[in-house]
Structure 1
Amino acid sequence: MPIHVAGRRRAPASLAAEFPAAEIIDVTSRAVEPWVRLSPFYPHGGIPVPLSGGVTSQSVEGIWQALKVFEGVDVDPAKLTVATMKGLKRTVRRFGPVRGHRAGLHGGELLPYETARRRIYLPAYRWVLDNRVADLVERLRVKRDVVLLDYTTNGDVGDPATPLSHAALIRLYIEGRWPDEGAGGPGPVSEPAAPAA
């Protein structure tokens, strides 16, 4: 059951030529139901904010943006409550250089980019795969040949030059190759939970 990851902006003819037998599934925030639920922007609600003791977020992207710290602007807890997939981004253009991501909503430590990916983004997105979209993961797992479309295809957490692809993370999760969420060894991969109500 091959799972491929390709750029969403590619022409349909190009995708069809490279993957002639594959089912093409968009998993971005512009996807249709039910696959849009795999987007980190999707407001599942109740997502635990890593390193934050009981705080939850509507979306994974809300967590990532909320904990981002800029030169003159600290965390923004309001991003945790956004339930529309819009208005989540906090940009360098508006706030200046990024200093890092705070290790939890009230944490004192600022995490560098790769460490933040491992300790914040990966656990949050894995929680969604385990607890909110296990049914969709199972549907992908049994498909014969599928291409997941995302805006980026980078599945290497250690490559800071390109944004991380959640489609690539889905593939790694299904293949049992989830990236390391900290120091020493691969991160935990649990068996898919029962589909959420």
Structure 2
Amino acid sequence: GPVAEATPLLPVETDTPTPEPTATFTPTPMPGTALAIGQPARVIAPNGVNMRAEPVTTADLVRYLPSRLKVTIVDGPIDGEGYRWWKLDDAEGNVGWAVENDGETDLLSPQMGEPEPVDRSPRIGERVLVTMSSGGQLSVRETPGTDANLVTRVNPGEEFTITGGPQESGGYIWFQIRSDDGATEGWAAESDGTERWLSPLE
């Protein structure tokens, strides 16, 4: 019957070489030990690093990645012009290439370390640190806008969770923040355009 006829085919299929075994020979480094596709990395260049459209120094600049920013490696490495390039995703809609080392200094690190404030817009659900120049306090208001009722003022170093936003009002981008104990809740501006006031911790 058909069952008997199908049986001889089984050993033949297992003998058919497949490209799968080659993948097992690619060692996957432990997270945090080496830069690898699919793993997070942190920009550790003191002055940040340029993200480019292609893995060459003359390629169009996609954006500047500030120091301490967390990125995800999506491709690479590619060696060119004496540099080792990795393709990065900044989770803000930008993907591009950056060099691992400039010849003297490591610019990217697989070691994430403790969460720290980074210079980008926060997202809902994220922890943020209030980062203002010493002496400054951040106003928290009932609704987005500089003319909205003041709820309280918070100090640099305080942590909150983003619960809403972004909303634009009066030239500022506002996010709703909430303290862990729920005592402080309201809207705060993320920056004044030069200094970031709400920095995501990652």
- Normalised to the residue count of structure 2, the TM-score between the two structures is 0.26
Q: Relative to total residues, which structure has the larger strand share, 1 or 2?
A: 2
Q: Give the structure, 1 or 2, with the largest relative contact order (CA under 8 Å, sep 6 or more).
A: 1
Larger of the two Rg values belongs to structure: 2
- Normalised to the residue count of structure 1, the TM-score between the two structures is 0.26
